[in-house]
Each structure stands twice: as C-alpha cells, then as structure tokens.
Amino acid sequence: GAVVSQHPSRVICKSGTSVKIECRSLDFQATTMFWYRQFPKKSLMLMATSNEGSKATYEQGVEKDKFLINHASLTLSTLTVTSAHPEDSSFYICSAFRTERNTIYFGEGSWLTVV
Amino acid sequence: QKEVEQDPGPLSVPEGAIVSLNCTYSNSAFQYFMWYRQYSRKGPELLMYTYSSGNKEDGRFTAQVDKSSKYISLFIRDSQPSDSATYLCATLSSSNTGKLIFGQGTTLQVKP
C-alpha cells in the first residue's frame, strides 16, 4: 500500500483563490519532503525541498510567494498555491525521504485545475 | 551532459517479451539507484532500489547496477499489458539530501 498519501487527488478552483495540497508520510517520519510539478508527457520538475521545522528551499524560477510550503510536522508537508491562475493548472506530486533506507517514496499526485 | 541519461522511447513489445530498460550516469559518487514506474496521471511508484553494484530481483523484475561502466538496467520478464507505463531511473544526489536525479523516463507499451 501507499506509504505517502497526497490529498486531494483532484481539485478545481476559481482563478484568484488559493488551494492547499497535503502530503503525508504514513508509516515513517520524513524530515525532508519534496514538491514536484509535472506537465503532460514531461518529466518531473522539482519545485522545492520542504524541511521540517525550517524554511523550504525553492528551485530557481519557482516563486516562493506563489507556492507556499509548510512542513510543520515530521509526517506532513503542505503546498499552497496562492492566487491561482489557469497557468498554475498542473499535476503536483510530493515525495518523502525515508532516511534510514535512503529511499524516496512518492504520493499519488494532485491534479489542479484553475478555471 | 545530463547526470542521468535515459532513452525516452517509446518502446513497444509483445506480451511475454523480456524488456530491458537502461540508463547511464556520469558521477561515480552516486551509490543509490532506484527504478520507478509511473502510470498515466499517477504519481511514481517505487519498483526497485539498489545500492552500489550488483543485481536485485523481485518477482518478474531485476535491477542491475554496473558501477564500472556507470550503467543501470531494469529487466522485466514475461511482460504484461499492465506493465505499460513510463519507467524512470533515478539516483540520489551525492549530497545525500534526498534529492533525486531522474532520467527522462522510458515509455513502455506491452501489446496483448
């Protein structure tokens, strides 16, 4: 079964509103989680690294104020897309680093549609 | 040169065939290698995980790492239509931050 759970799997929101996506590690603690964006038939694009108890590290070109990341506990990271616009519509995927196994597990992904 | 190179395919095989998926990498410091399977509109699923060189087998899947040639492979025996997906090779960056370096992904279609 899934070891990383992502919610919601699909969300539709109106342009200008904000939407939050949750990523949970189910049976391990993850001090580090990652957020990706994926366009159709393209590879995963890393957006940011989410660090428990500290600020996220964003990749070049990713707007920090647009994509707010919070990693308040060892099992939960959230991505909030603020003031969403249609160009933010995409597939967002989180992953969690299981340090004792040096392995990364991915969530099921969240489809965001901004109308 | 990309740190991890993977032929994007697409690769089409008949059901029952043995599938060989391959990647090369550039940094000899990489130690941990993973294969993920991603179905359309889903998150990647961890298939195989290997450390350093050698083989690892799990059911119909065998992962192989050859550090001398910086070559990693995934073999699928008795391929099934349900194996049709995109397969991503990945390695942990040498900084051990948990950041993955991916190949481009190979799209596989297994025809009944």
Averaged over A49-78, what is the pLDDT?
Answer: 93
CA distance A53 to A33: 12
DSSP string, B34-84: EEEEE-TTS--EEEEEEESSEEEEETTEEEEEETTTTEEEEEESS--GGG-
For A18-48, how does the pLDDT look when each residue is reduced to its tens digit (9 = 90+)? 999 999 999 999 989 999 999 888 889 999 9
| B109 interfaces chain A, CB cutoff of 8 Å | no
The pLDDT assigned to B95 comes to 62
Among chain B residues, CA nearest to A1: B45
Selecting from A46, A104, A109 the residue whose C-beta is nearest the C-beta of B42 gives A109
CB contacts of A97 in chain B (<8 Å) are 97-98
CA distance A17 to A25: 27
| B65 interfaces chain A, CB cutoff of 8 Å | no
Q: At residue B76, what are phi and psi to the nearest 5 degrees?
A: -120, 120
CB contacts of A34 in chain B (<8 Å) are 98-100
Chain A nearest C-alpha distance from B105 (Å): 7
At residue A92's C-alpha, the angle toward residues B58 and B45, to 5°, is 5
Does the distance separating the beta carbons of B100 and A102 come in below 8 Å? no
Does the distance separating the beta carbons of B100 and A105 come in below 8 Å? no
Averaged over A68-89, what is the pLDDT?
Answer: 95
Contact B110, B13 (CB under 8 A): yes
Rg (CA), chain B: 13
* Higher pLDDT, residue A42 or B10: B10
> Nearest CA to A96 among A50, A46, A32, A36?
A32
Contact B81, B110 (CB under 8 A): yes
CB contacts of B45 in chain A (<8 Å) are 106
Coil vs helix vs strand at A87: helix
CA distance A8 to A19: 10
**Residue A1 — pLDDT band, cuts 50, 70, 90?**
low
Is the model's pLDDT at A57 over the cut of 70? yes
**Residue A2 — pLDDT band, cuts 50, 70, 90?**
low
Percent of chain B with pLDDT over 70: 97
| B97 interfaces chain A, CB cutoff of 8 Å | yes
The pLDDT assigned to B96 comes to 66
Averaged over B9-20, what is the pLDDT?
Answer: 96
CA distance B85 to B92: 22
* Higher pLDDT, residue A46 or A99: A46
Coil vs helix vs strand at B98: coil
The pLDDT assigned to A12 comes to 97
| B92 interfaces chain A, CB cutoff of 8 Å | yes
Rg (CA), chain A: 13
Is the model's pLDDT at B15 over the cut of 90? yes
Does the distance separating the beta carbons of B104 and A49 come in below 8 Å? no
Percent of chain A with pLDDT over 90: 83
Q: How many C-alpha atoms does B42 have within 13 Å on its Cβ side?
A: 13
Is the model's pLDDT at B63 over the cut of 70? yes
